[in-house]
Structure formats: structure tokens, C-alpha cells
Amino acid sequence: MAGKVISSGFHYTTLPESYVRPINDRPNLSQVSDFSHVPVIDIGAGDRRLVSKQIGDACRRYGFFQVVNHGVPEELVRKMEQVGREFFELPVEEKMKLYSEDPTKTMRLSTSFNVQKEQVHNWRDYLRLHCYPLDQYSPEWPSNPSCFRENVGNYCIAIRDLGMRILEFISESLGLEKERITAILGEQGQHMAINHYPVCPEPELTYGLPGHTDPNALTILLQCTLVSGLQVLKDGKWVSVKPHPNAFVVNIGDQLEAVSNGEYKSVWHRAVVNSDQPRMSIASFLCPCNDSVLSAPNELIKDGSTRVFKDFTYAEYYKKFWSRNLDQEHCLEFFKN
């Protein structure tokens, strides 16, 4: 079992074979350029119409953007990063007590993506937590480091609030009432992945996470310690999203693509690794209520346009998502009309 995580303290000098991608499926890092005009949106600017217009433009063009002046205190972010780092520095025996490959578990340490389904592994370990309702889930979180639950809990509350504010802007940007989207999504769940990408001996041969879209509604990603690794697909090319100080990356997930009737695209993104420094990212996922029906509101089905997707519940979608491997046909395809 202990061989399963890669943050074991073992120093790899070559990439184990089970991580090596076939030659036609490698990151080609030297061909990736920086995304020079990543939309960085000041969401505390006060002018709601301007902010929702900027968000709408970014969602239509890219399916992702960054936010600053977001109201999440720097102190909370720092403490979150600190316990995340301390957790992955724990002795491997301590971490392995939490190891599981069962995606239905509400708290687990795991590795790669979906170990039981995939052919090639990814250079990532991750701690995955359910975070809402907090009182229900935080008692099962790690108690080591000692301030883990407190620091992560405070961060989750602030991120949830930020996510709800962004969803309101997104709703308005589609020409809908402010609360329309959150009403469709229902009482949303919240999950977190603390992603740890150890130093990789041969970063050209593998991924931290291969290209994918997120299966949930909205993802708020913190790229910690300013180590690059996130790339998004823009006009058919992978471009690198450099970490921006004090910003969060926000990306549209599959459920917002469905609810917007395909107007906003769930963005393809991936994480690459490097041979110099470990990287950590903290992804917070807002997920529709399990029995919410992800159906675009009638206001968005304009004259002559048709519904792109069938009606489905989030529970149905999520089950389908985890029954597959990340590099198979896109999950939303199964739900198209």
C-alpha cells in the first residue's frame, strides 16, 4: 500500500513506467506558451453591471477567469496553504491511514486520478474532502496537523461565500435574475481537493492531471506558492496560466455548461509537473444538489434554439463521471439531445 502514493519521501531519479504516456499523448512543454491575456477580474469593484459583463465575456470566450479583490482574507489563504503543505510532509505511514481508491468516500487520500480505471497514472497525490455541511464533514477530516480542521474549515466558509457571489454574477451575465442559477443548483455540496505534485524526474513524459473538464458547477482554484502548472486549452492550443498573486482561478464546470444551454463552455484544463519544485494547488468544487435537475431555464431557450442537453440529475451525472477514465469521451456527450 505504502508504494501507492508518490509523496512518500522516496527520491525518484527516473519516471516509473506506469506513469509514462504514449508518445502521442505527452505535454510537449516547450510548445506551450503563456496565456498572455488571462482575464483578471476585480469583483470587488462595486459596479455590478461591469463585473457581470466581464465575467460573461470570459465565460463565453474561455470558460475561465481569475478574480482579485475577492474578499477572502489573505490570512485564511495562508493558513490553508500551510496546513496543506504540512499534511503532505507527514510521514507516509501516517498519511496512508487515510488512503483509499473508492471515489464514494467523503474523505480520503488518494493518488493519480482514478487508479482503478486508468491505464497510465498521473504524478499527483491528493486529499479529497467533503466540506458542506461543515459540521457534518469536518469531524472526519485529518486531525494531524492539529490546526487542520480549523484552518480548512474557515477557508471553506469563505470560499463558499465567494462561489455564491460569483454564481450570482454568472446568473446576471446570462441575463437571468441574480438568484436563478443558485436556485437551479439547489442546496450545493462543496468538495475540496488538496493536490500535491511532487518534483517529477521526467516531466515531459507524464501529467499531474491530464486534460479534463470539471464535472461540477464551479471550481475555485488556488495555485499555491506561485509555482506554475495549470494549463488551459485555448483555440485548440494548451496555454499556461501563470499564478497571479492573491487571485483565484475560477472555472466553469460541466453543470454550468448544461444550465447555460451550452452558452458557457466547461473549460478543458490540465496540470503539468516539473523537476525543480513540488507544487500544490487547492481546488474547491461547488456541486449541485444530488437531486437537482440540470436543465437550462426557459428564458435561455430563445426563439428557434433547442435544448442542447437532456434533463438529468447531478447524482446521475456524477455516477457516470467516476465510472470512466479522464481521457475517455467527454462525459457531457452522454447527456446530449
What residues make contact with ligand OGA under the rule CB under 6 A?
193, 195, 209, 214, 221, 229-230, 269, 271, 281, 283
Q: Is 302 exposed, middle or buried (0-12, 13-18, 19+ CB in 10 A)?
A: exposed
In the complex with Ni ion, the residue whose CB is nearer, 41 or 209, is 209
3-state secondary structure of 197: strand
Please check whether residue 134 is in contact with residue 155, taking contact to mean a CB–CB distance below 8 angstroms.
no
In the complex with ligand OGA, the residue whose CB is nearer, 171 or 251, is 251
Residue 5 phi/psi, 5-degree rounding, is: -80, 155
Q: What does 191 bind: ligand OGA, Ni ion, none (CB cut-off 5 to 8 Å by kind)?
A: none
Closest CA to 64 of 183, 226, 231, 196: 231
Q: Please list every residue from 203 through 232 that binds Ni ion, using CB under 5 A.
A: 214
Shortest Cβ distance from residue 271 to ligand OGA (Å)? 4
**Plot region of 163 (φ>0 → left; ψ -120 to 50 → alpha; else → beta):** alpha
Q: What does 193 bind: ligand OGA, Ni ion, none (CB cut-off 5 to 8 Å by kind)?
A: ligand OGA
In the complex with ligand OGA, the residue whose CB is nearer, 98 or 271, is 271
Q: Is 204 exposed, middle or buried (0-12, 13-18, 19+ CB in 10 A)?
A: middle
Q: Does 254 bind Ni ion (CB under 5 A)?
A: no
Strand partners for 191: 130, 285
In the complex with ligand OGA, the residue whose CB is nearer, 255 or 261, is 255
Q: What is the number of residues in the chain?
A: 337
In the complex with ligand OGA, the residue whose CB is nearer, 54 or 223, is 223
Q: What does 21 bind: Ni ion, ligand OGA, none (CB cut-off 5 to 8 Å by kind)?
A: none
In the complex with ligand OGA, the residue whose CB is nearer, 168 or 285, is 285
Q: How far is 80 from 126, CA to CA, in rounded Å?
A: 15
Please check whether residue 122 is in contact with residue 208, taking contact to mean a CB–CB distance below 8 angstroms.
yes
Q: How far is 302 from 33, CA to CA, in rounded Å?
A: 38
- Those residues whose C-beta lies under 8 Å from the C-beta of residue 47, and which sit 6 or more positions away, are none
Q: How far is 257 from 263, CA to CA, in rounded Å?
A: 7
Q: What does 184 bind: Ni ion, ligand OGA, none (CB cut-off 5 to 8 Å by kind)?
A: none
Write the binding mask 82 to 121 for Ni ion: x where contact by CB under 5 A, - elsewhere.
----------------------------------------
Strand partners for 257: none
# binding residues, Ni ion (CB under 5 A): 1
Q: Does 81 bind Ni ion (CB under 5 A)?
A: no
Shortest Cβ distance from residue 231 to Ni ion (Å)? 11
Q: Name the residue whose CB lies closest to ligand OGA.
A: 281
Q: What does 170 bind: ligand OGA, Ni ion, none (CB cut-off 5 to 8 Å by kind)?
A: none
Site residues (vs Ni ion, CB under 5 A): 214
